[in-house]
Structure 1
Amino acid sequence: MANTRILWINPINVDAYDLPMGEFIDSIRLPGTEVEVISFNGDVPLNNLEYRTFEAMTVADTVRAARYAGEQGFDAAVVGCFYDPALEDAREISGDALVIGPCQASVQLAANLANNFSVIIGQEKWRAQMSECIHAYGYGSRLASMRSIDIAVPDLQKDCEYTAQKIIDAGRLAIEEDKAEALILGCTCTFGLFEEVQRELEVPVIDPIVAAFKAAEFMGSLKRQFQWRPSRQWTSAAPPEELIQSFGLFDQSPPIGNRYLLKEKL
């Protein structure tokens, strides 16, 4: 059987996270999984999607990347931001490729580990949009709280010891005051920190990169074994191909600015 292939989409216009996230993914992937990590080459050097304005600027590129995933035979693609930007839009046009969002994958995993959870967010700005996502996914009743550590996305990896301590402090409050039974780190840029926090707080601490990537691996394997592909009936239907062609929607290649490839492990 051919290897499972996953496209990890960093939906920003700089390549700063491609290598470190790729190396982290390399440390958790199964031997039979191949991965391509990409970012975009947009005109504006967006390095985060903390604001809805920034997110809106990348939606079309994410949709093009999802189309690329289907055309290139990827089993699954991950939109690598905890806001799950353009998730439903990407799913509509991804062909046979499954599309995974870190927020949805994380809350689904948390629901299998605990009766409720808190999300550790970088800034208070994130609260409304992330709460909307969690409620839309049907997990609002399990959300114990959101606790902010007051660190912007570009700064989360600058001093990992400081960030980890801030997460531990916020997580302890979530557990003791909000009665959270599990924690979710509410940004993919917190990668590599969950184990230290989990040892300190002794509750499940979910890294959204791990949750999303493992969901993509798992769903990709189910697709290969049982032919469980995305539905294209009724509300899941993609735009008619003749309309796509008439509008010239995908005449140009997706705006991929950087690629980091992880081939089969020997």
Structure 2
Amino acid sequence: MRLVVMNPNTTESMTASIRSTAEASASPGTEILATQPLWGPESIEGHFEGYLSAAAVLDRLAALDEPYDALVMAGFGEPGREGAQELLDVPVLDITESAAQMALMLGHSYGVVTTLDRAVPQIQDRLLTAGLLQRCASVRGTGLGVLELEEDEARTVEVIIETARKVVEEDRAEVVCLGCGGMAGLQEKVSAALGVPVVDGVAAAVKFAESLVSLGLTTSKARSFAPPRPKTIGSWPLHQHLG
């Protein structure tokens, strides 16, 4: 089984971190192909960058010529997944929904710890659209930018734990979700400090993807995610026309 794990930004070190978590979570025999767009923002912290990234991700997927069995999109609360579901015949997993779905199996309510406060409404909207917001106790920002997560891991973990503690003690969440692909791999340290389950979206999406592939299930093409209708799209895939 081969899974593509797509980092939505163009920061190679973050792609490497996401790859490491995906490989550690995957079952024996599952191959992880971690990649990123060939153009687009270095990090995503708002709607403008999110929609740029969505176009870049779809452009990358349209030109990806290696066979694979499922796609994991490693952006938290970001757009584009529905487009990938239309484009591809394989299962498409989003770490936002995967983390929340897994959290709901572990407790009555869950909370999300993310990066900047400006990302909170974006994540809430995503969870609302997915039907997962009702049992979300809160979404809290740490104040850390996406690229700051990699600068000092000890400080990053400290701030995440500090924020997650408020999610558990003040907001009454029973499970915590790490709300950024750049937080991949930190769940064990946060869980040990808080004493509650902590779900990493990349790990959750990888396991869900493996399950869907093993069961022979993929996205329904009956209505919502039917393939795009044939039409002319100028400069598509875009990367072939750059530079």
Q: Within 5 A, what are the aligned runs for 1:62-77? A: 62-68=57-63, 72-77=66-71
C-alpha distance after superposition, 1:101-156 (max 9, x if no partner)? 00010111011111111111211101111000111111111011122211100011
2:2 pairs with 1:5: yes
Structure 1: give runs of 5+ residues left out of the alignment.
Answer: 256-266
Q: Within 5 A, what are the aligned runs for 1:28-39? A: 28-39=25-36
Higher RCO (Cα < 8 Å, 6 or more apart) = 1
C-alpha distance after superposition, 1:211-245 (max 9, x if no partner)? 1222222222222xxxx2222212221123xx24x
Kept after mapping to 2: 8 A contact 1:14/1:41: no
1:50 matched residue in structure 2: 45
Aligned CA distance change for structure 1 residues 231 and 162 (closer, same or farther; 3 Å): same
1:17 matched residue in structure 2: 14
Aligned CA distance change for structure 1 residues 150 and 252 (closer, same or farther; 3 Å): closer
Kept after mapping to 2: 8 A contact 1:134/1:140: yes
Residues in 2 aligned to 1:185 and 1:254: alpha-carbon distance in whole angstroms: 35
Q: What is the alpha-carbon root mean square deviation over aligned residues?
A: 2.1
Structure 2: give runs of 5+ residues left out of the alignment.
Answer: none
Q: Within 5 A, what are the aligned runs for 1:152-163? A: 152-163=145-156
2:225 pairs with 1:232: no
Give the C-alpha shift of residue 14 in structure 1: 3.5
Q: TM-score, normalised by structure 1?
A: 0.83
Amino acid paired to 2:175: A
- Determine which structure has more spread, i.e. the larger CA radius of gyration: 1
Query: Percent sequence identity over matched residues?
Result: 27
1:165 matched residue in structure 2: 158
Residues in 1 aligned to 2:174 and 2:93: alpha-carbon distance in whole angstroms: 24
2:101 pairs with 1:103: no
Give the C-alpha shift of residue 251 in structure 1: 5.9
Residues in 2 aligned to 1:134 and 1:248: alpha-carbon distance in whole angstroms: 33
Give the C-alpha shift of residue 254 in structure 1: 7.4
SS at the partner of 2:150? coil
Give the C-alpha shift of residue 99 in structure 1: 0.8
1:82 matched residue in structure 2: 76
Residues in 2 aligned to 1:148 and 1:85: alpha-carbon distance in whole angstroms: 19
SS at the partner of 1:130? helix
Aligned CA distance change for structure 1 residues 251 and 142 (closer, same or farther; 3 Å): closer
Residues in 2 aligned to 1:249 and 1:221: alpha-carbon distance in whole angstroms: 36
Give the C-alpha shift of residue 30 in structure 1: 1.2
SS at the partner of 2:151? coil
1:143 matched residue in structure 2: 136
Residues in 2 aligned to 1:41 and 1:158: alpha-carbon distance in whole angstroms: 23
1:113 matched residue in structure 2: 106
Give the C-alpha shift of residue 247 in structure 1: 4.0
